[in-house]
Chains A and B, each alone.
Chain A
């Protein structure tokens, strides 16, 4: 009986793993099956490098959306990395037990807030503030700030774990050699936790690229190249969500094709981060 349960449990977890693989495969298959004909009809180069998106006129260029997605994502990372790392260092090294017991759940609670709520708060609170800086407020900057809040908990909690996982001996050795607490954090703990911190950034980036609802509400959705952080733009995900309701024919297929580009986009991002991580790890060992 025990052996039976042992064997059966193996198949159960195997089943779970294959179902998640199947889901991924099914999504990729359907997006490609619907989107590929559109890419063939429009032409890959025209589709990816075209600067005009006017489905009504038969113009399907998504370069402005690619730029919009990249701009909002990198904007959010520029804001979220220092803040997330700061939070992580505070929680792992500086805060006392009681402060940590209060702060950690607060940061983690940010994950549970639905993205439409982020969008709503961004729309009524943040956009008018950004408007004071110039432009109409619906902007890459507003989007980056909203995304920053959304990916902050990911970066914070994974980085905190990574810093915490650095062996105690490292800290003690550094402090024993006369290094201050800041020097220890800066020169010993952060380098040692580098791969975990890198992973937290990759995960945050993934969430930022995929975020849709909150982006639609604060970025303005103009189909143009943002020339400053105060400019409006449109993201790849936003393009799909905005137009899928009434799209038909080639327009609808072109939105699926946008999904393919998004998929490729995320694969490229993950690959870059994967190699960057591996190199940093190799350096770490050397």
Chain B
């Protein structure tokens, strides 16, 4: 019992000493940052936050989901210090916040592995998802009906896809709908003649990623800007960031932060 007490007291004493030392040197960061929004960004934000707080133990970063729309709203309303979005800001949103691109993510157009077609133009993809092209033979494939598989209404990945590919056209209600990248991948992998869209981070051999306008869907092509369907992952702040929030965003954009971005399967921005 006495031993345990001794252990505890030394532990507490050394913590106190550490705290004094830290506050004494003046450079250490402390405080709380709140971040909320896109669930695509969430796992990445959690990793970045964990790495940052490991270096700065007095800092607490609270990471929450809610979706891209919510992230924007929370930042504007001051509920969160940082809002996260997995799509570009809309025109009406753009003036209200300061945006920081912390990473990029390619969206692959995926088909069942047995599909003979391996390249489509962006316009063909749009016509397929709008329901104007319904048979593979219209785009150089076999005489088979195309099974369109989409994410559900409200999904950030779908939002980005609509903005970059659909350009105002609506996704057909004949499509099958699934509500996560994983479920959509399983559905495409299980249905011959199907087509869907998927975040680069989820690609594997169970589905085939199509070339768009002749450009294969690879990380290199997305990074160099040749692959046309790439979305930014954003942090937004109500005003120009300062203090702790600035330190964190700078950390995300640092070499160390961008290494975490790549580790998570996204494209670094520097």
Whether a CB of chain A sits under 8 angstroms from the CB of B175 is: yes
By secondary structure, the A interface counts as mixed
Known: A54-B170, A138-B191. A245 touches B39 (CB 8 A): yes
* Chain A residues within an 8 Å CB radius of B221: none
Whether a CB of chain A sits under 8 angstroms from the CB of B11 is: no
Whether a CB of chain A sits under 8 angstroms from the CB of B152 is: yes
The segment out of A78-86, A198-206, A217-225 that lies at the interface is A217-225
- The reply to whether A137 and B191 form a contact with Cβ atoms under 8 Å apart is yes
Q: Could you tell me which residues of chain B, from 35 to 69, have a CB within 8 Å of some CB in chain A?
A: 39, 66-69
- The reply to whether B178 and A56 form a contact with Cβ atoms under 8 Å apart is no
Q: Could you tell me which residues of chain B, from 147 to 191, have a CB within 8 Å of some CB in chain A?
A: 147, 152-156, 162, 170, 173-179, 183, 186-187, 190-191
Known: A128-B190, A243-B153, A248-B69. A222 touches B147 (CB 8 A): no
* Chain A residues within an 8 Å CB radius of B187: 138
- The reply to whether B67 and A251 form a contact with Cβ atoms under 8 Å apart is no
Task: Determine how close the nearest CB of chain A comes to the CB of B176; give it in whole angstroms.
Answer: 4
* Chain A residues within an 8 Å CB radius of B268: none
Chain A 123-162 per-residue mask, 1 if CB under 8 angstroms from chain B, else 0:
1100110010000111000000000000000000000000
Known A-B contacts: A138-B187, A247-B153. Give 18 more (CB < 8 A). Answer: A54-B173, A55-B153, A56-B154, A57-B170, A137-B191, A138-B176, A216-B179, A221-B176, A221-B177, A222-B176, A234-B177, A242-B179, A245-B155, A246-B154, A248-B70, A248-B154, A251-B153, A251-B154
Task: Determine how close the nearest CB of chain B comes to the CB of A126; give it in whole angstroms.
Answer: 11
* Chain A residues within an 8 Å CB radius of B186: 123
- The reply to whether A245 and B179 form a contact with Cβ atoms under 8 Å apart is yes
* Chain B residues within an 8 Å CB radius of A53: 153, 173
- B residues contacting the other copy or chain, number (CB 8 A): 31
Whether a CB of chain A sits under 8 angstroms from the CB of B199 is: no
Max chain A Cβ within 10 angstroms of own Cβ: one of B147, B162, B194 = B147
Residue of B nearest to A247 (CB): B154
Residue of A nearest to B156 (CB): A246
By secondary structure, the B interface counts as mixed
Known: A57-B170, A224-B173, A251-B153. A245 touches B67 (CB 8 A): yes
CA distance A54 to B177 in the complex (A): 13
Residue of A nearest to B73 (CB): A248
- The reply to whether B174 and A222 form a contact with Cβ atoms under 8 Å apart is yes
Residue of B nearest to A243 (CB): B152
* Chain B residues within an 8 Å CB radius of A138: 176, 187, 191
- The reply to whether A246 and B155 form a contact with Cβ atoms under 8 Å apart is yes
Whether a CB of chain B sits under 8 angstroms from the CB of A232 is: yes
CA distance A128 to B191 in the complex (A): 8
Q: Could you tell me which residues of chain A, from 232 to 281, have a CB within 8 Å of some CB in chain B?
A: 232, 234, 241-243, 245-249, 251
Task: Determine how close the nearest CB of chain B comes to the CB of A284; give it in whole angstroms.
Answer: 46
Whether a CB of chain B sits under 8 angstroms from the CB of A52 is: yes
Task: Determine how close the nearest CB of chain B comes to the CB of A142; give it in whole angstroms.
Answer: 12
* Chain B residues within an 8 Å CB radius of A221: 152, 176-178
- The reply to whether B190 and A124 form a contact with Cβ atoms under 8 Å apart is yes
Task: Determine how close the nearest CB of chain A comes to the CB of B86; give it in whole angstroms.
Answer: 10
Residue of A nearest to B176 (CB): A220
Cross-chain pairs A/B with CB under 8 angstroms, 28 sampled: A53-B153, A53-B173, A54-B170, A55-B154, A56-B153, A56-B154, A127-B190, A136-B147, A136-B194, A138-B176, A138-B191, A216-B178, A217-B183, A221-B152, A221-B176, A221-B177, A221-B178, A222-B173, A222-B176, A232-B174, A241-B179, A245-B67, A245-B154, A245-B179, A246-B152, A246-B154, A248-B154, A251-B153
CA distance A216 to B155 in the complex (A): 16
CA distance A223 to B175 in the complex (A): 8
CA distance A245 to B151 in the complex (A): 12
Task: Determine how close the nearest CB of chain B comes to the CB of A131; give it in whole angstroms.
Answer: 8
Task: Determine how close the nearest CB of chain A comes to the CB of B39; give it in whole angstroms.
Answer: 7
- The reply to whether B176 and A246 form a contact with Cβ atoms under 8 Å apart is no
Give the 4 A-B CB pairs with smallest separation, nearest first.
A246-B154, A221-B177, A223-B173, A246-B67
CA distance A247 to B187 in the complex (A): 22
Chain A 43-75 per-residue mask, 1 if CB under 8 angstroms from chain B, else 0:
000000000111111000000100000000000
- Contact partner of B173 among A52, A123, A124, A137, CB < 8 A? A52
CA distance A16 to B9 in the complex (A): 49
Known: A224-B174, A251-B154. A123 touches B190 (CB 8 A): yes
- The reply to whether A54 and B154 form a contact with Cβ atoms under 8 Å apart is no
CA distance A242 to B187 in the complex (A): 15
Task: Determine how close the nearest CB of chain A comes to the CB of B190; give it in whole angstroms.
Answer: 6
Max chain A Cβ within 10 angstroms of own Cβ: one of B66, B154, B156 = B154
Residue of B nearest to A127 (CB): B190
CA distance A124 to B190 in the complex (A): 7
CA distance A44 to B186 in the complex (A): 37
Task: Determine how close the nearest CB of chain A comes to the CB of B180; give it in whole angstroms.
Answer: 8
* Chain B residues within an 8 Å CB radius of A248: 66-67, 69-70, 73, 154
* Chain A residues within an 8 Å CB radius of B178: 216, 221, 242
CA distance A241 to B68 in the complex (A): 19
